[in-house]
Amino acid sequence: QVQLQESGPGLVKPSQTLSLTCTVSGASLTTSYYYYTWIRHSPGKGLEWIGYISYDGSTTYTPSLKSRTSISRDTSNNQFSLELRSVTPEDTAVYYCASQSTGWPGSFDWGQGTQVTVSS
């Protein structure tokens, strides 16, 4: 159904900005009732939802990361991006992009994930 592909640097230094892009195929970022999500997984914290950008461009973030997170989209390339500012080694994780549709029958699709390590 929907295919997603993460891309971006695998290594970022502490205090810098983590930037990732997700390229989406099989669905449009502007199609009603689709939500495009960033999720991360680390051994210590497990699976953690970061936030999403909805079909109308609005964004929602988990409270613990809201102050340093930005999600945006490029509709011409059907891509959405994550910026996580002021990173620390605690931000080291596998980062996934995902899509969810809340219509009928609905769907949930994941990218394959990309490892991001925060280290100097």
Q: Residue 55: what pLDDT? A: 96
Give pLDDT tens digits along the chain (120 positions).
Answer: 899 999 999 999 999 999 999 999 999 999 999 999 999 999 888 999 999 999 999 999 999 999 999 999 999 999 999 999 999 999 999 999 999 999 888 999 999 999 999 999
**Per-residue confidence (pLDDT) for residue 5, from 0 to 100:** 98
Which single residue is written with the structure tokens 């950008």? 53
Task: Say how far apart CA 97 and CA 87 lie, in whole Å.
Answer: 19
Among 4, 7, 3, which Cα is nearest to 116's?
Answer: 7
Amino acid identity of residue 33, one-letter, is Y
